[in-house]
Chains A and B, each alone.
Chain A
Amino acid sequence: MGNKAIIRLTSLGAAIAWIILFFSDLTILFSDTKGLAPGIPLWLPGVMLDIYLIMLYYHYKFRIEKDENLNFTDLLWKVFATGLIVTVVSLSIRFVIFLLGNTTLPGHILFGDSVYLINLSLFFSFLVAAYTSWKRLIIYQKSKWLIRTWRVFEFLLLFVLIYDSLRIELNEGIFIMLMIILGLIALVLSANMKWVAYLNFKQKWTSLLLLLLTLFYLGYFFYTVSRQSDIISEASTSFLDFRSHIFNISLFGFVMMYSIFSFLVILFNLPTSSVFEQKLEEVVNFQRLSQSIQTEQSEESVYNILLESSVSSVFADAAWLEIRGTNQDTRLFSYQISEKDALEITNHIKNQNIKGVLDQGSDKTRNLSKYLASLKGGRFRSVLAFPILVKGESIGTLALLKELPEGFTKEMTRIISTFANQAGISIENFRLLEEAFQNERYKEELKIAKTVQKSLLPQKLEQDMQYDIAAFSRSADEVGGDYYDTLRINDHEVAMIIADVSGKGTTAAFHMSQMKGIFHSLAQQQLDPKEFMVRANMALKHCLERGSFISATYFVVDSKEKKIYYARAGHCPVLYYNSSTSKAEYLKDKGTALGMIKTKDYCNFIETYELPYASGDIMILYTDGVTEAKDKKGAEFDYDRLKQTVEEVTDKSPKEIQEHLIKKLYEYSGTDEINDDYTTMIVKFN
């Protein structure tokens, strides 16, 4: 069942209960005045009143207690509004009676009882509304103990309610005992006024007004119904006298007590409310400082927030924030003070040879007020300065000024110190965030470099009747510099290259593209491999930065002569399988990597070698990633194991040899993840 349905149902229930109460009470009163026996049981009005109250209790419970959106003043407003409505209704009835003047009707006891019952219902409606609101205020800050006490209080009230309607003759002692117990609990509960602290100055005034009016309504109704029941009881006692019920008295007493307490507590809290507001503002400022990284875009805003927050927290008359940049330049953020004045104060304190933050040499926080007195023409008499520390290093100074002498209390010093610390943390975080962004950008760049590098490797290798060829290249997360390529020179010559650019990342990809350009332009010129390397070295010497080099081996496969001409420039030695001897050997010829010698002397460090090939011979080109692949213990795959692996599968096609080799490499390293660049090119002659 929804809340609205419950609210409607309880309203209906309350209305029905009240109508029955109304007529039954009138009937009993009428019978009594006429000396007749009433046709209905005497307990009926009392029970109906109970039902009416319970219905109201649930009605307000769902209207006020369950409404999450209400704040403290809203609650007071609800009570006030209910009070206003019922009072207006009650006053209107008074007005009607006044209009009736001295006719016989107002004097009639039944009429008096009717008016009394209407007022009573209005009064209780108001009381229950107030009770529910007070309940919310009291248990605003819940504790186990408080909830338990409240439960005991409510159970006692319910017990009293039932006890009342049973119409048992009251023993004076029990009556007083019950009243005292209820009164004590109500007193204890009424001490729960924590919500008052959360009201701001304006809200406190509003609450005072609302409470005052609420008290007025309570007084008015109590007076009205008491007076009316007095008049009726002169004629007959057989009516529902609310005063005979402990419950009614308790409820009224409790609502009244809490209203008075609240009123007084708010009243006495008025002078200190600015302190609470100040504290709250500090918290908010603090939060602003710490959240400024997420919401703001620059360090500047952190500085501005720091300046603003500090000024408003200590009521400074002026302030400045001096931020020292990396290269001696300083920036000044100021509030109500010119740059010239700020400089004057800084210089003055410096001239007085006072150690403190303002002289930038010390990070000690000090109250420098007494030294200001000697500054002629200055309007400030108090100064408080703090360093802004980022990673333990002072990046600036926050100075706060007041025109009053000794204007900064210890408390203020403490607050500003927290602000300055928080600002330091914010700026540090801000810088870390900036760094993270930068890293992200580098990663993105690396990704691009990797794509570039991949696109530099040939899609298709030059095919020939004389050989079968297969190549494979896989690089780790970082961009490597492995390169291989083939190019047909003429109908019987094919150029091949394998190269490894030192270094990784974008520069490696860049040098690789240079190498590709060199290969494609020089290879076409039908150069001798040595000449190729000499020219490549000449071309590269201006492009490679300090410490970079390229190792390469260049081959020309001549199918007419059935010979391979090659030059090895510092690259890993070729593994060559000779089918006639059934042995694989490394061709360890001399040759220095490209870029190592930047003079013409290079031609003395490179040589062309020639090698005849026969059917079944295999040439395995690879980069150092293969031989340097490590197992879990850190031992390298090495040359011997590479040779052994190839010798296992010499009867297979290049593609199959390659697959075998890769499989062995992964088995050896023990993971599927590559931690280096693996590149191989395998040529098998037919």
Chain B
Amino acid sequence: MVHIKRLQESGNDIIAIIGEIDASSSIELDLTIAKSVGDGFAKILVDCTALEYISSAGLGVFMSYIEEFQEKEIRMVLFGLKEKVANTFVILGLADLLHICSSKEEAKKLIDELSV
């Protein structure tokens, strides 16, 4: 089960994931990101502080946006990942492709730098 919340903060769209992302809940994550893109946000922060587990399908969702974001100049930064969750990103080599920070402040700073 997963809860995904969206919150706008100084031009950033913050997507908070609470719970576990598996094959079925990954669809919800995909829809939320797509909605954020559709709403015209160029700066997306993903709050993973309450993300307990992510399956390969969930990782696939993040992966699938990499190219699209590059083309549309949309920045996405993930923050607050638990060690175990972060590990799955690292093992897959996805950590090298995404921007991952430890805290929200860092993430905000990073996204502003990237957008310049």
- Please tell me if B59 contacts chain A, counting CB pairs below 8 Å: yes
CB 8 Å contact bits of B87-116 with A (1 = contact, 0 = none)? 000011110110000000000000000000
| Set of chain B residues within 8 Å of A597, measured between Cβ atoms | 66, 97
- Please tell me if A453 contacts chain B, counting CB pairs below 8 Å: no
Contact call A592/B94, Cβ cutoff below 8 A? yes
**Which of A503, A547, A572 sits near B64, CB closer than 8 Å?**
A547
B84 nearest CB neighbor, chain A only: A636
User: How far in angstroms is the closest Cβ of chain B from A56?
Assistant: 78
Contact call A596/B56, Cβ cutoff below 8 A? no
| Set of chain A residues within 8 Å of B56, measured between Cβ atoms | 500, 502-503, 549, 551, 624
Contact call B23/A504, Cβ cutoff below 8 A? yes
Q: Which of A571, A573, A591, A593 has the most CB of B within 10 A?
A: A593
**Which of B26, B57, B63, B96 sits near A605, CB closer than 8 Å?**
B96
Q: How far is the CA of A593 from the CA of B95 in the complex (A)?
A: 11
User: How far in angstroms is the closest Cβ of chain A from B16?
Assistant: 21
**Which of A503, A546, A592, A596 sits near B23, CB closer than 8 Å?**
A503
What's the dominant secondary structure at chain B's contact region? helix
Q: How many residues of A contact B (CB 8 A)?
A: 25
A604 nearest CB neighbor, chain B only: B96
Q: How far is the CA of A40 from the CA of B64 in the complex (A)?
A: 117
| Set of chain B residues within 8 Å of A548, measured between Cβ atoms | 60
- Please tell me if A598 contacts chain B, counting CB pairs below 8 Å: yes
User: How far in angstroms is the closest Cβ of chain A from B91?
Assistant: 6
Once A and B bind, how many residue pairs between them come within 8 Å at the CB atom?
Answer: 61
Which residues in window 85-118 of A have CB below 8 A to B? none
- Please tell me if B9 contacts chain A, counting CB pairs below 8 Å: no
Q: How far is the CA of A224 from the CA of B63 in the complex (A)?
A: 108
- Please tell me if B61 contacts chain A, counting CB pairs below 8 Å: yes
With contacts A504-B23, A546-B64, A598-B67 known, is A593 near B57, CB below 8 A? no
User: How far in angstroms is the closest Cβ of chain B from A126?
Assistant: 79
B68 nearest CB neighbor, chain A only: A546
| Set of chain A residues within 8 Å of B28, measured between Cβ atoms | none
With contacts A503-B23, A504-B23, A598-B67 known, is A592 near B96, CB below 8 A? yes
Q: How far is the CA of A569 from the CA of B96 in the complex (A)?
A: 13
Contact call A590/B23, Cβ cutoff below 8 A? no
B67 nearest CB neighbor, chain A only: A598
**Which of B23, B63, B67, B96 sits near A549, CB closer than 8 Å?**
B63
With contacts A546-B64, A549-B63 known, is A590 near B93, CB below 8 A? yes
User: How far in angstroms is the closest Cβ of chain A from B116?
Assistant: 23
CB 8 Å contact bits of A540-571 with B (1 = contact, 0 = none)? 00000011110100000000000000000111
| Set of chain B residues within 8 Å of A636, measured between Cβ atoms | 84
With contacts A502-B59, A503-B23 known, is A569 near B64, CB below 8 A? no
Contact call B93/A592, Cβ cutoff below 8 A? yes
Q: How far is the CA of A588 from the CA of B63 in the complex (A)?
A: 21
| Set of chain A residues within 8 Å of B97, measured between Cβ atoms | 592, 596-597, 605
Contact call B57/A547, Cβ cutoff below 8 A? yes
Which residues in window 41-77 of B have CB below 8 A to A? 56-57, 59-61, 63-64, 66-67
Q: How far is the CA of A453 from the CA of B94 in the complex (A)?
A: 27
User: How far in angstroms is the closest Cβ of chain A from B51?
Assistant: 15
User: How far in angstroms is the closest Cβ of chain B from A568?
Assistant: 8
Q: Closest 10 A-B residue pairs measured CB to CB?
A: A592-B93, A547-B60, A502-B56, A570-B92, A547-B64, A570-B93, A546-B64, A593-B92, A596-B63, A502-B60
Further pairs besides A502-B60, A572-B91: 9, Cβ < 8 Å: A502-B56, A502-B57, A502-B59, A503-B57, A548-B60, A549-B63, A588-B91, A596-B93, A597-B66
Q: Which residues of B contact A (CB under 8 A)?
A: 23, 26, 30, 56-57, 59-61, 63-64, 66-67, 84, 91-94, 96-97
A-B residue pairs in contact (CB < 8 Å), sample of 30: A500-B56, A502-B57, A502-B60, A503-B56, A503-B57, A547-B26, A547-B60, A547-B61, A547-B64, A548-B60, A551-B91, A551-B92, A570-B92, A570-B94, A571-B91, A572-B91, A588-B91, A590-B96, A591-B93, A592-B92, A592-B93, A592-B96, A592-B97, A596-B63, A596-B92, A597-B97, A598-B67, A605-B96, A605-B97, A636-B84
